[in-house]
Structures are given as structure tokens and as C-alpha cells.
Amino acid sequence: MYDADFTQVLQASIAPCVMISGVGLLLLSFSNRLSRPLDRVRQLKKEHEHAPEDQKEIIYQQIEIFYNRCKLLRNAVGALTISLFFISSVILILFISLSLQLEILKPIVRIGFVLSLLSMIAGLLFFFKDVGETLRSIRLEIRNFKR
């Protein structure tokens, strides 16, 4: 491989590498966010065992909301992981395509990049839904606070 070809490979890989960094930070954030509802479910389960009968249903509703949040965040983490898979594959295929000058691989690079973006968008949509669930939990606490 000539130096000019190698430079072209590196230049073509910059955008996907930046995307890996961004998706990786989102993945770290979502993974950290997942630990909070998990801990809260464990805490509410203990509270449920010792709560008065009139509070048990409210606590159970909160446990359900936090469990739904855990599922949403799991889906968000999964979608971002798939995004990382596709973008890593794009870099590998791009390197092979440019190194061996195989024009036939270029459509695969485009498809992989689009799939990576779609997976990232799916992860963000799951995250957005998680924020809605968080507000639903707060609404339940406020409603019970007024009583």
C-alpha cells in the first residue's frame, strides 16, 4: 500500500471513528443511568415488605415503573451496542475496500453506516421514552404526597 493510499484510508475513517467516540459516551451514560432504577427497585422491594397496606399498591406501581425503565434502558444500551458493531464493521470494510481497491465493498460501507445511525437513533428514542417514565414515577410520588 502506498503512503497516499494509507492517508486516504485514514481520512475516510475519521468520521466513523468520531462516531465510535460519541456512541461510546452515550453507551457509558446509559449504562450508568441503568444502575439507578435497578438500585431503586431493590430499595422499594424492601420498603414494600414493611409498608402499611395502604402504601403497598403505590410502592408496587413505582416498582413497575422502575422495571419498565430498566427494560427501556436495556434496549437503549442494546441499540447503541449494535450501532458500535456496525460502525466498527464500516471501518474494517472501508479499510479493506480502500487497501485492496475493491469497489464492490463501497455499497456495504454505506449500508453499514446507515444501519449504525439508525441503531443510534433507536437507542436515543428508548432513552427519550425512559425520561417519560421517570416523569411518570415523579408524578405518582407527587400525587401521593398531596394526600
Q: What's the whole-number average pLDDT of the chain?
A: 86
Which pLDDT tens digit goes with each residue over 38-52? Answer: 898 999 998 888 888
The H-assigned helical ranges of the chain are 3-50, 53-100, 106-146
* Cell 503512503, residue located: 3
Of the ranges 27-41, 96-110, 132-146, which one carries the lowest mean pLDDT score? 132-146
Q: Which three cell numbers stand for residue 27?
A: 453507551
Sorting pLDDT into bands at 50, 70 and 90, what band is 139? Answer: confident
What's the rounded Cα separation, in Å, for the pair 37 and 44? 10
Per domain, the residue ranges of the chain are 3-146
Which 3 state secondary structure label does DSSP give 84? helix
Which pLDDT tens digit goes with each residue over 67-107? Answer: 999 999 999 999 999 999 999 999 888 888 877 888 888 88
What's the rounded Cα separation, in Å, for the pair 26 and 121? 11
What's the rounded Cα separation, in Å, for the pair 101 and 64? 54
